[in-house]
Structure 1
Amino acid sequence: LKKKREQERRDAIAQNLMQDPNKPRSLADAITLVGTCPDMCPEFERVQRVVEREVNNPECDPKSLGKGFADRVPLEERFVKKFRRSAAGMDEQLPSDLRPPAILQKTVEYLFNKLLPEFPFAEITNYLWDRTRAVRNDFSIQQVRKLADVRIAIDCFERIVRFHLLSLHQMARDAGIPPEYSWKQDHEQMEKALYSLVSFYDDNSSRYRSANEAEIRAYQIIFCLGMKSRPTSIEDTLQGWPSHIIEDSRVQRAIRLYKAGSRAFDENGPLRPPMQHSIARQNWEAFWDLLRSNEVSYLMACAAEIGFYMMRDTIIRAIFRTYRQGGNVRTEDWTLTELVQVLGFDEEEEVQDFCQQYGFTIAERADGTPYLDLTS
């Protein structure tokens, strides 16, 4: 197989199907690779990973998984191409290493429709995370331009974005999460997938509009709440969007959610005068109430959750700052029950754990009601 690959490389270079590494070209003359791999995983990679014992559980016969690592039975039809980083000294991928758009779509359908239901979510997430990244990379290398291929790419990226939103929510808890999982890296890949998808929308707007664009644009708006540098105005983000997208009910709900969240962030900024705490509290609770309402879909809530920590950090600091500035807040004013509402938690135990991260302690009133001790 190695000899076969070297011959393929020579033939592809001779036919101008890929660049000769020894003959640099200008960017204008660069050759774009076109994939020819007919399978979800190239043949060479399948053989190489079996030989090197780099076969993942989802790529084995399910009946053999309970018998120990050495007894697993790899099934080539279950193999999916791994993500491969570009690095100095590594050979450029061959056309036979790259899957054309139709095969990439088949791969995404297999990952989400067939494989995902077979395993517990926490167990399969890292595998899906890596394989969908490889899918995105294959699209990127081939720089798809044909309308049919663009439509396939958009469909795949939409599914991948939804997966990352779900993953970021499901994997945010501590219990049962594999040690190799990184929420930060998941967030980074979600951002890259969303950026690529939005670029597909923008670059092809004159010839194709996905039926799911409004849904994804709603996630894009809400996703901004979790960004360290949020847009100064949501209208800046909406510039250039067609009216039918902006007027879509999902986008309008996302705008309302974003504005509610922004008020909770911005009206208590360090450079702003302290506002009346009752008004601030109304703004905080308005955001959480809207989030809990039937107006907000499950995945919209998952997108909003990305910014929860920043939101709660802003709120708890605002409460403490008001106390330090000599406001009319008594030290026993904030009970755990009240903090559940303004911090958007479900249980008092979650509030207690969160406040203790900031060094606060929970005390009790004379009647036994637990409250946040701002003097601690």
Structure 2
Amino acid sequence: MVPYKELKDAVRDLKNLHGQQALTLEEKYAVLSKRDAIVRKCRPATLDLRAAEPMVGLCKSMCPEKERYERQLRKCFSFYESLAAHEEGNNSKAADARLMIKEFVRSAAGTEEPLPYEIRSMEALKRTMEHILSFVIAKEPTEDALLARWYNFISSSIKMIRRDIMQQPNACQDVAVHLLEMSVRFFIYSSYRLSLLPDHLFDKELNSENIRMCLLAIEKLTDNGANSSNRAEFGSYAILLDLDSMSIQRVLRKYKKSWKSPDLMFAVNLWIAFRNCDYLRYFRMIKKKATFLQACLAHRHVLTMRTRTLAILRKAHWNYFSQIPMKTLSTWLGFEEANSTASFCAKFGIASDRPNSKVVPSPSTFTLPPSLLEVLVNSKRGNESAEKIVRGTCTCNGAAFLTLPESSFDENGRYNRDPVCSYFIEHWTKLLDSHKPDLKIADIKFVGSYVGF
């Protein structure tokens, strides 16, 4: 409930704000901050969740206008949002408004709920993902430091896409599921592509958590009626992500309609092989049946399987361990090359007198070696680019082009093009005309479509 006088004052303040001139970023940011303060002051508060209107994102840009100004003022933008990202030789310390994407910020206690025009519409989210695919993922670097910068920007952008989706769960659920599926594929690809980076450049556990959160979001949307033709694919990812889990019953119940599909059957059988330490079957299945992304997830557990396998072999065949040919040991440990096997064994204090001959055990404390680059996983990728991998089975590319985002200010810096301000002035004026001054007004809605927004 909003008092009549309070709403009347808000309309007056918005009218006074309309038409003000703002020439600098600071002035534009200040004007929009005043607008938000006025709107939030009249935002209705209700304890009846059944009466609450469903949230619908109304921002049509990849990044809300006020955030663009704020981050440019703070010089807080990524290289991929700078002038240099689009054309070499440009200033990397200046932001390009066409490239800016809404930044992920962790929620904190006391944080105000976003207004509808701070949440991107589903169409804006589709355009944002297409921009990420075409202009960022497609330009995957090779140097470690640049690769980490590339990942961090995409990760932040995708996490914010997921948040915007979950804040409006009733809007275009099928589109939302498609965007989340591409998000899962990116994080799975990154789990392997960046696996050799040091911990300070790539947090493997945080990346796994991102996969898990996206999978849970997909489950929630599909439970609410969203459609997806890739349920079996992502059910297999859910199992492979937690291959060391004691039970997969929960996942199978979620995907019971697809559990006989090749993807889910592969994941279940690989889980059984992992639980039973059936190393021959485990590596054979990855080599012969896994897709590239399934192999990427299985690779997360390869080190555990190899360590357990080597310990079992040394204990069971101690007397004649030195007589096992390196080629045979390579097969048992799932390596493609004997040299890789020798390098792996050396980390455990097992030396090889000749690169392609016998292995000779030496008493040494077992230490976990770093993961070795997998020829097996790489061979499954073929010539597919990162962009194609993330897109999945979708062969059609959306229209990705650079356009200037809409501005609430005209060419002279006048604040007269903001559809949000115009909407609330008009809507609240009608409410004032239809109520008596001594009454409180409850019909303050934050849903609908702002013309031109």
Report the TM range for the smaller structure's normalisation.
Answer: 0.7 to 0.9
Cα 1:29/1:316, change in 2 over 3 Å: farther
Quote the offset at 1:184 in angstroms.
2.3
Question: What's 1:340 paired with?
Answer: 330
Q: Give the distance between the partners of 2:139 and 2:281, measured in 1 at CA.
A: 39
Q: Give the distance between the partners of 1:163 and 1:368, measured in 2 at CA.
A: 38
Q: Which residue, 148, 151, 155 being the options, matches 2:174?
A: 151
Question: What's 1:287 paired with?
Answer: 282
Question: What's 1:273 paired with?
Answer: none
Instruction: State whether residues 81 and 96 of structure 2, in contact with CA within 8 Å, keep that contact through their aligned partners in structure 1.
Output: yes
Question: What's 2:79 paired with?
Answer: 57
Q: Deviations over 1:165-201 (max 9, x none)?
A: 1111111134xx7953222221221122122222322
Q: Give the distance between the partners of 2:323 and 2:190, measured in 1 at CA.
A: 37
Quote the offset at 1:12 in angstroms.
4.2
Q: Deviations over 1:15-52 (max 9, x none)?
A: 43xx5xxxx94777777644222111111121122222
Question: What's 2:229 paired with?
Answer: 211
Quote the offset at 1:65 in angstroms.
6.1
Matched, 1:362 2:351: yes
Q: Give the distance between the partners of 2:339 and 2:92, measured in 1 at CA.
A: 45
Question: What's 1:172 paired with?
Answer: 195
Q: Residue type of the partner of 2:227?
A: R
Quote the offset at 1:3 in angstroms.
4.1
Q: Which residue, 149, 154, 162 being the options, matches 1:136?
A: 162
Instruction: State whether residues 64 and 71 of structure 1, in contact with CA within 8 Å, keep that contact through their aligned partners in structure 2.
Output: no
Instruction: State whether residues 158 and 183 of structure 2, in contact with CA within 8 Å, keep that contact through their aligned partners in structure 1.
Output: yes
Quote the offset at 1:290 in angstroms.
1.6
Q: Deviations over 1:332-369 (max 9, x none)?
A: 144543332222223334334433444x231438x982
CA RMSD, Structure 1 to Structure 2 (Å): 3.0
Q: Give the distance between the partners of 2:92 and 2:302, measured in 1 at CA.
A: 44
Q: Determine which structure has greater relative contact order: mean sequence separation of CA pairs < 8 Å that are 6+ residues apart, divided by chain length.
A: 2
Question: What's 1:77 paired with?
Answer: 98
Q: Which residue, 251, 267, 272 being the options, matches 1:259?
A: 272
Q: Deviations over 1:130-167 (max 9, x none)?
A: 11011112223x14124xx2112111110000111111
TM-score by length of 2: 0.65
Quote the offset at 1:89 in angstroms.
5.1
Matched, 1:239 2:234: no
Instruction: State whether residues 208 and 241 of structure 2, in contact with CA within 8 Å, keep that contact through their aligned partners in structure 1.
Output: no
Quote the offset at 1:83 in angstroms.
0.4
Question: What's 1:88 paired with?
Answer: 109
Matched, 1:300 2:294: yes
Q: Give the distance between the partners of 2:196 and 2:207, measured in 1 at CA.
A: 14
Q: Which residue, 96, 107, 110 being the options, matches 2:128?
A: 107
Q: Deviations over 1:64-96 (max 9, x none)?
A: 76548x555422111111101112354443333
Instruction: Please list, as runs of the form range in 1=range in 2, the aligned pairs for 1:311-330 lying within 5 A after superposition.
Output: 311-320=305-314, 322-323=315-316, 329-330=319-320
Question: What's 2:36 paired with?
Answer: 8
Runs of 5+ unmatched residues, structure 1? 265-282
Cα 1:246/1:55, change in 2 over 3 Å: same
Question: What's 1:41 paired with?
Answer: 63
Question: What's 2:363 paired with?
Answer: 375
Quote the offset at 1:253 in angstroms.
2.7
Q: Give the distance between the partners of 2:153 and 2:34, measured in 1 at CA.
A: 30
Quote the offset at 1:230 in angstroms.
3.2
Instruction: State whether residues 55 and 116 of structure 2, in contact with CA within 8 Å, keep that contact through their aligned partners in structure 1.
Output: yes
Q: Give the distance between the partners of 2:270 and 2:308, measured in 1 at CA.
A: 17
SS at structure 2 position matched to 1:246: coil
Q: Which residue, 182, 185, 196 being the options, matches 1:162?
A: 185
Q: Give the distance between the partners of 2:92 and 2:299, measured in 1 at CA.
A: 41
Q: Residue type of the partner of 1:220?
A: A
Instruction: State whether residues 50 and 74 of structure 1, in contact with CA within 8 Å, keep that contact through their aligned partners in structure 2.
Output: yes
Q: Deviations over 1:223-244 (max 9, x none)?
A: 231x4x331xx4553125343x
Quote the offset at 1:317 in angstroms.
2.8
Q: Deviations over 1:288-308 (max 9, x none)?
A: 112111x32111211211221
Instruction: State whether residues 332 and 372 of structure 1, in contact with CA within 8 Å, keep that contact through their aligned partners in structure 2.
Output: yes
Q: Residue type of the partner of 1:248?
A: S
Instruction: State whether residues 35 and 98 of structure 1, in contact with CA within 8 Å, keep that contact through their aligned partners in structure 2.
Output: yes
Q: Give the distance between the partners of 1:302 and 1:336, measured in 2 at CA.
A: 25
Percent identical among aligned pairs is 21
Q: Give the distance between the partners of 2:33 and 2:116, measured in 1 at CA.
A: 10
Runs of 5+ unmatched residues, structure 2? 1-28, 365-453
Question: What's 2:374 paired with?
Answer: none
Q: Give the distance between the partners of 1:368 and 1:101, measured in 2 at CA.
A: 57
Instruction: State whether residues 331 and 374 of structure 1, in contact with CA within 8 Å, keep that contact through their aligned partners in structure 2.
Output: no
TM-score by length of 1: 0.77
Quote the offset at 1:8 in angstroms.
2.5
Instruction: State whether residues 62 and 124 of structure 2, in contact with CA within 8 Å, keep that contact through their aligned partners in structure 1.
Output: yes
Cα 1:64/1:224, change in 2 over 3 Å: closer
Instruction: State whether residues 351 and 362 of structure 2, in contact with CA within 8 Å, keep that contact through their aligned partners in structure 1.
Output: no
Instruction: State whether residues 62 and 128 of structure 2, in contact with CA within 8 Å, keep that contact through their aligned partners in structure 1.
Output: yes
